[in-house]
Amino acid sequence: MENLTKRIGVARTFRNSAVLSGLITREQIAQSIEMLTAQLGLPPGSEISEDELAAKLVELGAITSYQADQLRVGRTKLNLGPYIITDFIAAGGMGQVFKAVHKMMGRECAVKVLPRNLATEDRIQNFTKEIRTQAQLDHPHLVRAYDAGHDGKVHFLVTEYVPGTDLRRLVRSRGPLPMQLAASIIFQAASGLEYAHNRDLIHRDVKPGNILVTPDGVAKVSDLGLSFSASDSESDPRLNKIVGTPDYLSPEQIKSPREITRASDIYSLGCTLYYAVCGKVPFPGGSPSEKAKRHLEETPWHPRRFNPEISEEFVEVIGDMMEKSPDKRIQSAQEVAARLEPWAGEANPIPSLYLTNERWTAPPIPTGREVETGRPDFVPFDVEDFDSRSQESPSQLSQGTDPLVSGRHDTTAIYTVRRGRSIAPPFSVDNDPEEWSRGMCVAMALAISIPVSMLFGALLTFLVLHIMARG
């Protein structure tokens, strides 16, 4: 009886929340209950549990799974202005991203929210800059801005919703991409960047997590919140700071952040292409400052070490994009696109592109009355405290920044240098430093254990003979 009372109470809490939210009417709830009663073969008037009612409403398309989860715990505000929140997409350095539908227009979109606890004067200034930057851009390979506003003290930016995933998640789920697919994605991203560069905007945070890919194979560059305008550089609040993601920073972003050019985006796009075909960032492991040092001084492993299917001509394009000196690097995104065009072709559907289920509970919509928590994916940092910042992030899905968390990989060995770049030997398991390291450990273990076991055996034989002689 106690369990039934509890069950009824919870169910009614859900129903009340659903009605108060404005998403569901009492008539819809009554109809769903009638359908469930008949479907389950229960007598009229039987109590329907919270989970059963919520599942039925989701099945009927009245609410989404995300909305059902929020209503279960009594949250009734599921909108930001005229936008009805339908799902959670990602958490990033400038806040959270939700999927939404405009109440009147019915258009699906993404809503990027600056939570109240991040709404400092500097953050609001940066957020406003992002809104105005994206409002200038209209290109098929850049995420378009639709609207902006605030709901109480919660500021938000509305952009087009891009179904699918981002390049980082695509590589993590599939492994290194075939040459043609990687070329197609980066070709499209380069086209979008060329459009932005021609409008005097430098992205500054080009990386796999900021390239969205649809199931049709269409790529769009997102997250222009760090964009730098050379014509308005003095008003940029991050002018003297190293901004970007450590795995993809160009050398000049590290050495002289005031003097970056569009060539900086080319370097980062080259690192992104390297990741796409190798499944690894150019310089994995280490702290942000260690990564920065390696971008300045070292060269990554030859890409064919991780993906022997790519051609040397393709590798040359990556190398030309990742030249240390901006003057030696490919000078424009348009040239990048032209160099990749022989492999790229037209955008084609990507087989088995899917989003994995998120294992964490999605956060509620910020209301301005509650304190939001979370670790930022990116925080602009000064040169002097570069070492103290982590590139790790709790981001989950696409349309949000997510600096790559990489495994360790030794890149200290330098091979024959050709055209100013380090060239590793042809792909071979025998040359793999990790395999070599494991082999050396085994050899050392055998070298130590065999003599020790022989000594122990001799000692044991001596003791046995000594005892027998005394006996």
Provide the annotated active-site residues: 205
Phi first, then psi: what are they for 35, rounded to 5°?
-65, -40
Could you give the CA distance from residue 124 to residue 120 in angstroms, rounded to a whole number? Answer: 6
8 Å CB contact between 249 and 381:
no
Separation of alpha carbons 144 and 112, rounded Å: 13
Q: Which two tokens stand for residue 206?
A: 């080009």
Half-sphere exposure of 165 (CA within 13 A, CB side): 19
Each residue of 222-242: b (16+ CB within 10 Å) or e? bbbbbbbeeeeeeebebeebb
Which residue, among 35, 33, 58, has the nearest Cα to 47 in the 3D structure? 33
Dihedral angle over CA of 110, 112, 115, 119, nearest 10:
-160
With the C-alpha atoms ordered 238, 222, 208, 421, is the resulting torsion angle positive or negative?
Answer: negative
Helices (H), 229-387: 251-255, 262-278, 288-297, 312-321, 333-344
Tally the C-alpha atoms within 13 A of residue 184's C-alpha that lie toward its C-beta: 18
